[in-house]
Amino acid sequence: MNATAVAHPNIALVKYWGKRDLELNLPAAGSLSVTLKGLSTTTTVEFDSSQSTDVVILDGSELQPGRPRRRVVEFLDLVRDAADIDTSVRVETANDFPTASGLASSASGFAALAVAAADAAGLHWSDEQLSVLARRGSGSAARSIYGGFVEMQPGSAADGSDAHATPIADSDHWDLRCLVAVTDAGTKDIGSTEGMLRTQQTSPLFEPWRATVADDIAQARNAIEHRDFNRLGKIAERSCFRMHATALGADPAILYWNATTTRLIHAIRAARSDGLACFLSIDAGPHVKVFCPSADADEVRTILEETSGVVDVLSTRPGRGARRCTTPTSTASTG
Ligand code: PMV
């Protein structure tokens, strides 16, 4: 009863922000993302009847009681309930990129955990069922079950059974690059759940924004189908800035950006005015993700590296969905 899985983070091109059910973690609207090779989480799950309690090891250190450990244990309870077992579990998980740095480690983390835990428990679940399960850990994790370009269905069923991701196009559909500019540490981020709830409860901009999401998804799907970079960029940046605008409209306001984030926004807009094909996206943290055609990746990297306050630039491209693998190390970096 043990299994290992690898998964990649994803970046939303049409953002998810807001929940229609907190307990089942149901999104208030759909979203659309691309799963990114170049960053990976590898997770091994072992059901071990000799253990009296669950053990969760993240990047070599055992998680102590607290919210991160509780999230994992509650997630494992869902798998134990489904498989009708009550055995304790040992989870060992490692990221090859900075954990909890706003680089979507919860997406790859819960996608890898869903695949490994379901497999170790003997559940032969479809990708759709795994996506529903991953969603319970983190909304964006539901999308990392699939590779390439992915749409999240908000669903309408009260039990959340139709709130799962669906694939739109494979990772080899479009040879894009996504460069992640890691910025210097700023103030501590407000977690995405807290940020979403405060926005929904206090921002007058939230409902008008939510009403635009379905149309953005339809337009983004079309742009992806036709590999129309400029159109996708327009939709994706608009979705990102509007999501952040809803958060800024919360009371008290939520601002995820630091000074480097703002410098990067100006640098990318200037480069685009000068004719470089690129667009950006920012999530619930200060880092900036910049998309470009593969031929322009070196030029974009130079711009990011020359921006003051950027501490690292990570290179990613569309990659595969979450999958089982034989050993913790053999397939972690294959993408
Ligand atoms: O999956 P969560 O709960 O970490 O929320 C992700 C929220 C954003 O990253 C800001 C947007 C998105 O769609 O990924």
From 106, 108, 283, the mutation candidate for ligand 1 (largest count of ligand atoms within 8 A of CB) is 283
Question: Is 258 a pocket residue for ligand 1 (Cβ < 6 Å)?
Answer: no
**Can you give the pLDDT at residue 335?**
44
State the Cα–Cα distance between residues 200 and 194, nearest whole angstrom: 10
Ligand 1 touching residue 15 (CB < 6 A): yes
16: Cβ below 6 Å to ligand 1? yes
Q: What is the DSSP string of 268-280?
A: HHHHHHTT---EE
Mutate to test the pocket of ligand 1, among 10, 14, 17 (most ligand atoms within 8 A of CB): 17
pLDDT value at position 66?
93
Q: What is the pLDDT along the chain (335 residues), one digit of tens a residue?
A: 999 999 999 999 999 999 999 999 999 999 999 999 999 999 999 999 999 999 999 999 999 999 999 999 999 999 999 999 999 999 999 998 766 556 767 999 999 999 999 999 999 999 999 999 999 999 999 999 999 999 999 999 999 999 999 999 999 999 999 999 999 765 567 999 999 999 999 999 999 999 999 999 999 999 999 999 999 999 999 999 999 999 999 999 999 999 999 999 999 999 999 999 999 999 999 999 999 999 999 999 999 999 999 999 999 999 999 999 986 544 444 44
User: CA 304, CA 276: separation in Å to the nearest integer?
Assistant: 13
pLDDT at 188: 65
**Angle (CA) 114 240 274, round 5°:** 125
> 248 CA distance to ligand 1 centroid (A)?
16
Which atom of ligand 1 has the smallest separation from the CA of 152? 13
Tell me, what amino acid is at 168?
Answer: I
Q: What is the pLDDT of residue 326?
A: 83
- Cβ of 140 closer than 6 Å to ligand 1, yes or no, is yes
pLDDT reported for residue 179: 97
What DSSP designation does 77 have? H
| Alpha carbons 227 and 211: distance in angstroms, whole number | 26
Q: Return the CA Rg of the chain.
A: 19
The pLDDT assigned to 74 comes to: 97
Q: Residue 216 is inside which H or E element, if any?
A: helix 206-225
Instruction: State how far the Cα of 96 lies from the Cα of 91, in Å rounded to an integer.
Output: 17
Ligand 1 atom closest to the CA of 31, numbered from 1: 13
Which residue type does 308 have? S
Sorted by sequence, the CB contacts under 8 Å of residue 197 that are 6+ apart come out as: 19, 22
CA 18 / ligand 1 centre spacing (Å)? 9
pTM: 0.95
C-beta atoms surrounding 312 within 10 Å? 14
